Amino acid sequence: MKTIEQLSIFLENRTGRLGEITRRLADMDVSIRTLELVEAGDFGILRLILPDVHAVKEQLSTQGISAKITKVFAVEIADNVGCFHRVVSALADEGIDIAYTYTVHNGAQGAFVIKTAEADIARAIARLENDGVTVLDAV
């Protein structure tokens, strides 16, 4: 299945905290593919897609930083108006809730990263591929 593993790190909202994490990632020589930071008042969650989330989670853990691996999937952003709407309405049609979504772009290609309940992922991918949406192996 074309799922992608994403690393989520809980962050307290205080000065310098994000920098502490990014410094450690740089020290580990980790190339960050995608990054999304959501904030909710006094805390936030940093979501990262990296080449080897398990190794990074392990290393962060030895440094006292907790992270969680979650499965998401990514679909290609087709270069036409309404493409996101087609993805969203197909999932709605299947009765699948999107927990959150964000976009990434690597210069050549753009993608929507989508999080649904894990049990819904296979069905979501099948439906989207059936509708002609390109589901990506990696971002």
Partner 1 sequence: MIWNQAESAPREAIEATQVARLKETARRVYAISPFYKKKFDELGINPEAIKSVEDVQKLPFTKKQDLRDHYPFGLFCVPMSEVVRVHSSSGTTGKPTVVGYNAHDMDVWNEVMARVYTMSGASAEDVVHNGYGYGLFTGGLGFHTGAETIGAAVVPASGGFTDRQLMLMRDFGATVLACTPSFALHLAEVAAKAGNDFRKDYKLKTGIFGAEPTSKGLKEEVAKAWGIDYHEVYGLSEIIGPGVSCSCKHSDRLHIFEDHFLAEIIDPKTGEVLPEGERGELVITTLTKQALPIIRYRTGDITSIVKEPCACGRTHARMESIVGRADDMLIVNGVNVYPSQVEHVIANTEGVTLNYQIIADKKGHLDKLEILVEVSDDILVDNVGDMERIKKDIQASLLNNLYINAAVRLVEPRSIERSVGKAVRVVDKRKD
| DSSP letters spanning 71-83 | EEEEEE--SSTTH
Structure tokens at 73: 């999937």
Q: What span, in angstroms and rounded, lies between the C-alpha atoms of 126 and 27?
A: 39
Among residues 16, 19, 40, 108, which is the contact residue for partner 1, using CB under 8 A? 40
User: Which of these segments, 27-35, 67-75, 77-85, 89-97, binds partner 1 (CB under 8 A)?
Assistant: 67-75
Q: Report CA Rg, the chain.
A: 16
Residue 101 within binding range of partner 1, rule CB under 8 A: no
Per DSSP, the three-state class of 52 is: coil
User: How many alpha carbons lie under 13 Å from residue 6 in its C-beta half-sphere?
Assistant: 26
Residue 91 within binding range of partner 1, rule CB under 8 A: no
Residue 100 within binding range of partner 1, rule CB under 8 A: yes
Min dist. Cβ of residue 64 to partner 1 (A): 6
Among residues 25, 30, 47, 77, which is the contact residue for partner 1, using CB under 8 A? 47
Residue 43 within binding range of partner 1, rule CB under 8 A: yes
Q: Find how far residue 110's CA is from the centre of its chain.
A: 13
Binding site for partner 1 (CB under 8 A): 6, 8, 10-12, 38, 40, 42-45, 47, 64-68, 70, 99-100, 115
